[in-house]
Amino acid sequence: MQQISKITLHIGFDDTDSLEGSCTTFIATELINRLHKRVEFLDYPRLIRNNPNIPWKTRGNGAIALTLSVHEDFVENVISTSINTIEELHQNNPDTNPGIVILKGKIPKEIHNFASRALTEVISISKAKEYAERYCYKHHFIGNGRGIIGGLAAVGNELNPEEEDFTYEILTYRTSDYIGKKRSLNDESVRRMDEQLSPLVFNNIDEESRKVLINPAGLDPVLYGIRGENPEILLQAKELVQIEEPLDSYCIFRSNQGTDQHFKYSKPIIRNFSVFKGEVKVIEKPETFVGGHVFFKGLILEKNQMIDVAAFEPSKKFRNVIRDLLPGDKLVAYGGIRYKTEIQNFALQLEKSDIHFLSEHFKEESPFCPKCEKRMTSDGFNKGYKCKKCSYKDRTLQKTKIPIQRKITLGTYIPPEQAQRHLVKPFRRYNVQRKKSFEIIENWWKKSSNN
């Protein structure tokens, strides 16, 4: 009897869209529709967010990986379908540089390491192409091929439940005749869905402004996306959201969104566009500048190196906490490093801070009169104090030191939902138990025209 031989294929791709249209997740959904009769899906498509500080991203620096089991006779056909789908559906635009990588079998540790670096550093196109040559069964690119970086990073970030936290997102897509038109989403139904399913869904609403956050703007084919802890809850959430336009398709992705995964691999190093995590001591009192941005000078304790730390205007209430820091306070600071021409220096743009030490500060006040208990006044330089009410004088009395009541308390602070980066773990997830495994449910994707 002939043995049926199945091959595990990993397909990663990125940089297929622009602000003028398309979305890498939409292309993934189209590809799933084209492949599903010939493959078995070993994982949900993974939506991997990489280093959020790279300047050439379109939106949230997301890349896609598919993990498939394929009969050996179909392998070449699956690969050519994947490459042709990217060729056909990518946005033809000088700033769009698609890349697709295909690996067979077990992912090499070098690709795992590449993926960890892609979360926190800037990787060159030439390095990615070198890795693609060495470790991929096939790779293909258009333009300068920058998408190879994200493609490799998505394949290498396997979100193994034993090692990594992960979440899910259901993305729904518009039919082509609706793309570009106003989105018909009932905001109240989104708020109700969020209340009903919290804490198993997150980042649907901005708690501060009550704004609905699930729908993108513009020419994006996504109608809305809902993030959550398991696929079943997302199918339920989709039923609760009321819309007034037909859906082309939907798909559930497994993702590192909302997990702080980039902070797990970051270091206290000042390098342009990198992710930073380090212990910082406040050196100067924070100041607010034009535009509402708050800056303070801090010392990176592990490196004995100064850094300008910033909470920018969009981080809203988070700035109030940063404004109330005082010299001597200590925090673990998390964020992105950017060279700022305004200050001609690198700045750390805060995404989160764990304030773990508040220094003591005092104000000095004139003493109270020991006889009549009224506040005394100075009797001149080095002459002590006198009481205006009872005329008592004492040359030995000194100013009393009163501890300043600090406005902030120790704890973790992050910007409000609307200013949070995709990777940042929202408070709602802090008490949710980490998942130990995942199972692929029925109806995890659907294309309406298949019915």
Task: By CB under 6 A, name the binding residues for ligand ATP.
Answer: 14-15, 17, 23-24, 50-51, 54, 56-62, 97, 118, 121-123, 146-147, 149-150, 153
The residue number whose beta carbon is nearest to ligand ATP equals 150
The amino acid sitting at 235 is L
* 329 versus 351: smaller Cβ distance to ligand ATP: 351
How many C-beta atoms lie closer than 10 Å to residue 109's C-beta?
Answer: 9
Question: Least CB distance from residue 283 to ligand ATP, whole Å?
Answer: 31
* 100 versus 307: smaller Cβ distance to ligand ATP: 100
* 75 versus 153: smaller Cβ distance to ligand ATP: 153
- CA–CA gap between residue 375 and residue 285 (Å, rounded): 30
Question: Least CB distance from residue 331 to ligand ATP, whole Å?
Answer: 26
Question: Least CB distance from residue 124 to ligand ATP, whole Å?
Answer: 7
Question: Least CB distance from residue 49 to ligand ATP, whole Å?
Answer: 8
* 56 versus 362: smaller Cβ distance to ligand ATP: 56
Question: Least CB distance from residue 159 to ligand ATP, whole Å?
Answer: 16
* 58 versus 167: smaller Cβ distance to ligand ATP: 58
* 75 versus 107: smaller Cβ distance to ligand ATP: 107
- CA–CA gap between residue 314 and residue 308 (Å, rounded): 18
Question: Least CB distance from residue 99 to ligand ATP, whole Å?
Answer: 6
Question: Least CB distance from residue 425 to ligand ATP, whole Å?
Answer: 19
Closest-CA residue to 426 (of 154, 217, 236, 200) = 200
* Adjacent-strand bridge partners of 338: 347
* 147 versus 336: smaller Cβ distance to ligand ATP: 147
* 128 versus 280: smaller Cβ distance to ligand ATP: 128
Question: Least CB distance from residue 152 to ligand ATP, whole Å?
Answer: 8
> With helix as H, strand as E and coil as C, how does the chain read?
CCCCCEEEEEEEEECCCECCECCHHHHHHHHHHHHCCCEEECCCCEEEECCCCCCCCCCCCEEEEEEEEEEHHHHHHHHHHHHHHHHHHCCCCCCCCCEEEEEECCCCHHHHHHHHHHHHCCCCHHHHHHHHHHHCCEEEECCCCCHHHHHHHHHHCCCCCCCCCCEEEEEEEECCCCCCCCCCECHHHHHHHHHHHCCCEECCECCCCCCECCCCCCCCCEEEEEEECCHHHHHHHHHHCCECCCEEEEEEEEECCCCCHHHHCCECCCCCCCEEEEEEEECCCCEECHHHCEEEEEEECCCCEEEEEEECHHHCCHHHHHHCCCCCCEEEEEEEEEEECCCCEEEEEEEEEEEEECCCCEEEECCECCCCCCECEECCCCCCEECCCCCCEECCCCCEEEECCCCCCCEEECCCHHHCCCCCCCHHHCCCCCCCCCCCCCCCEEEHHHC
Question: Least CB distance from residue 16 to ligand ATP, whole Å?
Answer: 7
* 54 versus 307: smaller Cβ distance to ligand ATP: 54
* 146 versus 330: smaller Cβ distance to ligand ATP: 146
Residue 365 vs residues 40, 327, 371, 383, 402: alpha-carbon distances, Å:
76, 21, 18, 16, 7
* 300 versus 423: smaller Cβ distance to ligand ATP: 423
Question: Least CB distance from residue 408 to ligand ATP, whole Å?
Answer: 34
- CA–CA gap between residue 359 and residue 325 (Å, rounded): 9
Question: Least CB distance from residue 62 to ligand ATP, whole Å?
Answer: 4
